[in-house]
């Protein structure tokens, strides 16, 4: 089994495009209040991404992620909200776990991979949903536009993981799985808050 296959198997159970939150968004059935909560609380996670890249001594990508966090702020403001602390339990757990995983190079690699490898597809789905179903300001779109065709971070991470010693690769694989589950659970918490009867 290739390393890429093993990483993707670790996250496949929590493939974000299969989540009811993104499926409701794509079909226009997600309430705008759920988008607001997502922008406000999930933004706390988006703001942590530069830390993971900084741990990897990749200052260029860390700076790019800071710029993307500013685009996320525009997304939040377009929804008449702003990034805040994560308050829902699973979103707070995502933020807490990410901070721990981003603190060591081998776990930062696996955790970032779990997120970045899914970004192009999830960003495209969300952008399409915003344009088709939601009458929102144009300022909500640039974050997702920036990620629809961006596979280079995942490719860069895969190369770095392949260069690790076996025990470090094992830690990266575990971190990939942990991050995948935490991302899924965070979306579930937001979805259940607004969409469960």
Query: Are 28 and 41 a contacting pair, CB within 8 Å?
Result: no
Helices (H) and strands (E) in the chain, counts: 12, 0
- What pTM was estimated for this model as a whole? 0.96
Predicted confidence at residue 46, as pLDDT, reads 98
Looking at residue 149, what is its pLDDT? 85
CB 182 within 8 A of CB 89: no
Q: How far is CA 49 from CA 13, 34, 113, in A?
A: 23, 22, 11
Write the DSSP assignment of 6-48 as a string of letters. Answer: HHHHHHHTT-GGGSHHHHHHHTT-S-HHHHHHIIIIIHHHHTT
> What are the extents of the domains in the chain?
26-192
Contact 82, 119 (CB under 8 A): no
Q: What is the pLDDT along the chain (197 residues), one digit of tens a residue?
A: 899 999 999 999 999 999 999 999 999 999 999 999 999 999 999 999 999 999 999 999 999 999 999 999 999 999 999 999 999 999 999 999 999 999 999 999 999 999 999 999 999 999 999 999 999 999 999 999 999 987 899 999 999 999 999 999 999 999 999 999 999 999 999 999 999 86
* For helices 89-101 and 166-195, angle between their N-to-C axes, nearest 10 degrees: 160
Q: Which CATH superfamily is domain 26-192 in?
A: Heme oxygenase-like (1.20.910.10)
**Per-residue pLDDT at 28:** 97
User: Which pLDDT belongs to residue 143?
Assistant: 97
């Amino acid at each position: 089994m290739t390393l890429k296959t093993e990483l993707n198997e670790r996250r496949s159970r929590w493939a974000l495009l299969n989540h009811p939150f993104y499926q409701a968004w794509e079909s226009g059935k997600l309430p705008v209040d759920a988008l607001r909560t997502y922008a406000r609380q999930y933004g706390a996670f988006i703001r942590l991404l530069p830390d993971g890249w900084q741990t990897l001594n990749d200052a260029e990508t860390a700076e790019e992620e800071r710029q993307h966090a500013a685009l996320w702020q525009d997304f939040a403001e377009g929804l008449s909200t702003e990034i805040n602390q994560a308050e829902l339990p699973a979103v707070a757990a995502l933020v807490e776990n990410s901070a721990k995983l981003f603190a060591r190079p081998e776990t930062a690699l696996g955790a970032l991979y779990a997120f970045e490898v899914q970004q192009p597809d999830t960003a495209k789905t969300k952008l399409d949903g915003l344009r088709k179903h939601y009458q929102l300001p144009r300022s909500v779109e640039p974050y997702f536009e920036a990620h629809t065709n961006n596979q280079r971070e995942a490719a860069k991470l895969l190369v770095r993981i392949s260069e690790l010693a076996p025990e470090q690769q094992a830690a990266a694989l575990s971190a990939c799985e942990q991050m995948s589950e935490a991302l899924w659970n965070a979306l579930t918490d937001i979805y259940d808050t607004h969409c469960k009867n």
